[in-house]
Amino acid sequence: MERATFGAGCFWGVEAAFRRIEGVVSTAVGFMGGTVANPTYRQVCTDRTGHAEVVQLEYDPARIRYEDLLEVFWQIHDPTQVNRQGPDVGTQYRSVIFFHTPEQEAAARASKERVEKSGLYRRPLATQIVPAAEFWRAEEYHQQYLEKRGLAPCAIP
């Protein structure tokens, strides 16, 4: 199994979207990229810890490629928005790819370049591509939040 970590706004919908993908073995929502050890959701929501809300997933590379996960990432949010997604505003909602290996970094940069050149967006992409840091798992009630409440995940075009 390999690991991938993405921030694309509120982690509830992002997790639900990735959980539907064949080859994704497990998901967990949490926080990455900040300065506070073991932050709580309440702390991260102050926009003072520097963390992004993220989904960390384990996937089987024999069943799905990292590049395919990147395609899902680009489809499930607006990567041109700076520190927000829809009504959610703050650095914790930034668009970010946390890479775990040099191969992931290269794939993420190539993917971002393809999306930028595609003409799909009029504005420049705000997505950061940075090394993975410590993953802090969010409180249990956030895990599979939408599924627990019987809500539909966001659609993947």
Active site residues: 10
Q: Which residue has the tokens 């668009």?
A: 95
Return the structure tokens found at 50: 């520097």
What does R_g of the chain's alpha carbons equal in angstroms?
A: 14
DSSP string, 80-129: TSSSEETTEESGGG-EEEEESSHHHHHHHHHHHHHHHHHT--SSPP--EE
Q: What are phi and psi of 131, to 5 degrees?
A: -65, 145
